[in-house]
Chain A
Amino acid sequence: MSVRVHPELRNQLMQFGIGDWNACYHCGTCTAMCPLSEEGFLFPRKKIRLMQMGLKNEIESSVEPWLCYYCGDCTSTCPRDANPGELMMSLRRYLTSIYDWTGLSKKFYTSEVWEIGSILLIAVLVVIAFLIGLPAMGYSFTTELTSQGGVKINSFAPIHIIEAFDWAMAIVVGGLLISNILRMYYKIIWKHGHTKVTFWVHVREFWRLVFNFSVQPKFGKCDDKRYWFSHWFLMSGYTIMFIVVVVFLPWFQTEKILPPWHLQRALGYYATFGLLFGLLVAITGRMRRKDVKFYFSHVSDWLFLVMLTLTVITGILIHIFRIYGMPYATYIFYIIHMAVLVPMILIEVPFSKWSHLAYRPFAVYFQHLKTHAVPRKTKINSIN
C-alpha cells in the first residue's frame, strides 16, 4: 500500500528543534554508530528519512525516538552535519505534541509566548490563591514559633488544603498523561500493521515498564556512563520528592523539627542532593556546550531546568527558614516555591519535556510488545 508524502510536514517539524535534516544523504553512519539501535528498531537514519519525506503516520507510529537517549555520537560522526541526535530530540517533542489530544503541547513547544505566558499565568494564580484566596477562606497565619523554635508552617499553608490541591493536581496531570499514553499505545501498537499483541504478552512484558522506569538500562548502554548516573540520581530524587509531597504530605510537612537522621529528613536530603547534582550536571553541560547532547538547547530544555532548580532552591530555603524560626521568609519562599512548582508540574509533565518520564519506559514496553506481535488473521492477510 502506498502512502502519500507530505512536504509541508517537514516545515512543521522544523519548529520542534534545531538542525538541518535535509543535509542527510543516508550513509547510515549514525545508525551504525548508535549503541541503542537494534534489529527491527533501527534509527536515526530511518527516522530522518521518514521526516524528510513527511510520512506522517509512519512517524507517529514510531517508537524509536524514545529509545534514543541522546549520547550525541551520531551527530559528532555525521559527515554532513545533519545533526541526527537533535532530530531524534525534535521528533520526541513532536511526538509529545501528537500524543497530547488537547493541542496545548504543540502550542507550548512551538510558541515561547504560549509556554512562558502559561507558566506566568499559573504562577500569578498561585500567588493570588495564597495572598487572597486563603485569607478569604478564613485562614490566617501566625508568626509565633513552636516550642522547638520552628515556624508554624501549617498555619500559613493548611495541610489539608495543600494536600487536597496536590491530589487534585496529581489526578489532573496523571489523567492527562494516562490519556496521552493510551493515544501513544493506539498509534504505536493498535492502529498500525496487520499484527496484534496477545493479552498474555502484555502481562508478561509488563516488568519491562517498571524496570526501565526505575533503572533506565538503555541510557546505561550509551558509551558515556556519567550521564546515566547523574540522570538516575536526579530522577530518583524527583520521584521520592513527588511521592512524599503528594502521598505523604502530612508526614512530610510537619511543624515538629525531627532529628536529621529521621527518615523524613534523610529522604528529603537525599532527594534534594540527587536533584541538585543532576541539575548541576545538566546546567553546566548546557552552558559549556562541550558535549553534543548539550550543544543544542531548546527553550523547553532551559525552562525546565530553571524551574526545577528554582523549586529545589526555594524548597531548601523554606526548610532552613522554618528550622531557624524565620516565619516571614518561610512564608514568602513557600509562595515562590509553589508559584514555580505548580506551573512546572501542570505544564511540563503532561505537555512538555517532563512527559518523557512516562513515554520513555512505556516506549520500551511497547517495543517489546511489537517484537512479540503476531500476524492478525484477516481476510486480506489470508489472501496475501
Chain B
Amino acid sequence: MEEPRIGVYVCWCGTNISKMVDVEAVTNEVKALPNVTIAKNYKYMCSDPGQDLIIKDIKLHNLNRVVVAACSPRIHELTFRTACEKAGINPYLFEMANVREQDSWVHTDRTEATNKAIDLVVAAIRRVRYHEPLQKRFVNVNPATLIIGGGISGLTAALEIANAGKQVYLVEKSDQLGGQVKKFDLTFPHLSSAQQMIRPIVQRVDNHPNISVFLETEIREVTGYIGNFKTAISVNGGDPVELEFGNIIAAVGLKPFNPEVISEYNYKEFPDVITSFEFEEKLLAGRILTVYGKEPRNVAIIHCVGSRNKKYHEYCSRVCCMAALKYVHQVRAALPSANIFEIYADMRAYGKGHEEFYALTTHRQIMFLMYDQQKKLPVINQADRSDNCNMIIEMDELLSGQSIEVPVDMVILMVNMEAQENVKQVVRAIGVSLCGNQFFIEKHPKLDPVATTTGGVYIIGTCQGPKDIPDSVAQARAAAARILGAIAQGSVPIEVTTASVNELLCCGCQTCIGVCPYKAISYDENNKVSIVNEILCKGCGTCGSACPAGAIISKHFTDLQILSEIEGVMSMS
C-alpha cells in the first residue's frame, strides 16, 4: 500500500459549526498527526470554492486520501466523493466526520463540542488510511418486465412499458383482469363510471402485442438479480413456462377488511349491515334494496371500520371518506326521500377536488354524526317493532356531546384497506420487506417511493399502502418510467460496497449462506469455499460479522477500517 497522504478539511458551515466548535483548534490538533499532509478550515466546504480547495490540494500536494469534517455524510458525502473523482483519486478514498448534525447542533458546551469534533476527525483520519479504491460496476438489463397483479396499477404500468415497445409479462392470480376497480360502480370525486374507465384498459392490455397475460397464475420463485431475473410459471396446471426479464413490478393490491371481528357492528348477524364492497355490488346491480326486498328509508354509512383504531389497524385507509361521500350522492339519487347518516370519526378530504366534493355533499340533506374512535364505537342493535325501522345505532355523538339513537334500515361499513393475504411467497420470491401493517416497504418513503431495496424490483398501488386510483396510476407510470430508463441505458450501476470472500481464509462452514437475506452467497463445491455474487449483494455486512474465520470482507466497512475508527474516537482521552 502506498503511504497515505491525507488532506483534512474542517468546515465552518457559516456559523452552524463554528459557533459551537473551535474549527481552528480542531485543525491545529490534527495537523501533526501521522499521515496528515495538510489540514485546513474553510467557511463552506460544500461550495464551489470549497470543493476547488480540495481539488487543488490533491493535485498540488499529491494527496491520496481526503477527510472532510462537516455535515452528515447523508447530505454531502456524494458531493465530496465527486470532487475527489474530479481531482483524479478514487471516490472511496474519502471519509467524512459528522460535526454538525451530531455535534455542533446538539451540544451546548463549546469545549466539549470541540473535543468531540477532534475525536471524530481523528477517527476519520485513522479510518481513511485503510480505505481502498473501489470500482463502479454495471450489469446489462433484459428489456422484458414482469408485472405481478392485474389491477389498475399493474395494467397501467403494463401499457406504459408495452407502448414503449418493450415486452411485458403480466401475471394475475384471479381469472380476470381489472382488480378492485372492476368491482366499483362510480369513482369519486367526479362520480364518473369505474367500468367505463377500466374496461378499455383491460381490452387494450388483452390485445396488446407486447403484453403476455397469464391468468390464474402465481409467482413461486424468482432467481437472478437486477437486469437478469428468471422465473418459471405454470399456466392452468400445464408445463412450466420459463420467463426472463430485467425488472419486476409488484402490484398485488389490497384486501378489504373483514368487519366480523368488530362485535359492535354485528356484521353477518344483521343481513342489512354490509361492507362498502358489498354495497358496490348492489350499485352495479342497479338497485339498493334491503334483504326484505324493500327500499331502505334510513341509510347509515359508518366510516373508519377497522381503520385508525389500535385494536384493528392504526393507519388510515385514505379513500374511504371520499368513497362514503360518493355513496351519499348515489343513495340520494336512488332514494330521494331517504334519511342518510354519515357516521364518521374525522372527515379527511386531502386530495384534489376532495374538499369541494365534501362541501357539495354537505348540501345534500345528510346528517353528519361524529364518533370518537378511541372512546366508543357506534353499536348496531336490532330495533323494536315500535321503532319503525330495521335497526338502531347507538352512539355518543362528539360534536353535540349527546348520546343518541339513529334509526336505520341499512348500514354500509366503510371497511379498511388491508394488505393482501398470502403474499409471503411473492415477498420472498422478489426480495422485498413488509412493514408492520404487511404493506411492502419502499426504498425511501419520500424520495424513492416506488423502488425497493432490491435493485430492479418496484412496488406500485395499494400493496405499498392504501391509496386511490390516481395515486396508484401515478406510481404505476413512475415505476414504468424508471424501468424504461434502465432499459434505455442498457445497463445499470450496482452496489460497490459489497462483501467478498477471502478464499484463503474461508473454511467452507457456510454460516454466511444462512445469514444472507439476498441469497447472494453460494457454496463452491469444487473449491469448498463460499462465493459472493456481488450483483445480488447489498452490502449490509451481516455475513462479515458472522464469519467465524474472518474470511469475508465487507468492502468499505472492513474490520480494520472500523477498528481504526474505534481507536480514533478513543485516542484523545
Contacts and interface: CB of A to CB of B under 8 A. Distances in A.
Interface of A: 1-5, 7-8, 10-11, 20, 22-23, 25-26, 46, 49-50, 52-55, 58, 80
B366 interface: yes
B394 A52 contact: no
Contacts of A2: 394, 402-405
B366 A22 contact: yes
Interface in B189-204: none
Contacts of A23: 359, 362-363
Interface in B437-469: none
Contact of A4 (B347, B399, B405): B405
Contact of B399 (A5, A7, A49): A49
A54 B365 CA distance: 12
Contacts of B363: 20, 22-23
Interface of B: 298, 339, 341, 347, 359, 362-363, 365-369, 394, 397, 399-400, 402-407
A3 B404 contact: yes
3 nearest CB pairs, A to B:
A2-B403, A7-B339, A49-B400
A5 B369 CA distance: 10
A52 B405 contact: no
A22 B363 CA distance: 6
A1 B399 contact: no
A336 B368 CA distance: 52
Nearest to B394: A2
Given A22-B362, A58-B402, 10 more contacts: A2-B404, A2-B405, A5-B405, A7-B341, A22-B365, A49-B399, A52-B367, A52-B368, A53-B402, A54-B367
Interface centre among B298, B368, B407 (most CB of A within 10 A): B368
Interface centre among A1, A7, A58 (most CB of B within 10 A): A7
20 contacts: A1-B403, A2-B402, A3-B402, A4-B405, A5-B369, A5-B405, A5-B406, A7-B298, A10-B365, A20-B363, A22-B365, A22-B366, A22-B368, A23-B362, A25-B347, A25-B362, A53-B367, A53-B369, A53-B400, A55-B402
B340 to A, nearest CB: 8
B387 to A, nearest CB: 9
Nearest to A58: B402
Nearest to B397: A53
A114 to B, nearest CB: 26
Nearest to A23: B362
Interface centre among B362, B397, B400 (most CB of A within 10 A): B400
B404 A5 contact: yes
Contact of B407 (A4, A50, A52): A4
Nearest to A2: B403
Contacts of B298: 7
Nearest to A50: B400
Contacts of B402: 2-3, 53, 55, 58
A325 to B, nearest CB: 63
A7 B367 CA distance: 7
A46 B402 CA distance: 11
Contacts of A7: 298, 339, 341, 365, 367
Contacts of B403: 1-3
Contacts of B407: 4-5
Contacts of B339: 7-8
A54 to B, nearest CB: 7
Nearest to B393: A5
Contacts of B362: 22-23, 25
A22 B366 CA distance: 8
Given A49-B400, A50-B400, A5 B367 contact: yes
B405 A26 contact: no
A26 B406 CA distance: 20
A276 B365 CA distance: 43
Contacts of B365: 7, 10-11, 22
A52 B399 CA distance: 11
Nearest to A11: B365
A7 to B, nearest CB: 4
A11 B364 CA distance: 12
A277 B366 CA distance: 44
Contacts of B405: 2-5
Nearest to A21: B362
A54 B407 CA distance: 13
A205 to B, nearest CB: 27
Nearest to B347: A25
Nearest to B366: A22
Contacts of B400: 46, 49-50, 53, 55
Contacts of A53: 367, 369, 397, 400, 402, 404
A53 B339 CA distance: 12
Contacts of B359: 23, 80
A240 B257 CA distance: 72
Nearest to A46: B400
B389 to A, nearest CB: 10
Contacts of A5: 341, 367, 369, 404-407
A195 B359 CA distance: 40
A7 B339 CA distance: 7
Nearest to A22: B362
Nearest to A55: B402
A225 to B, nearest CB: 33
A135 B128 CA distance: 124
A82 to B, nearest CB: 9
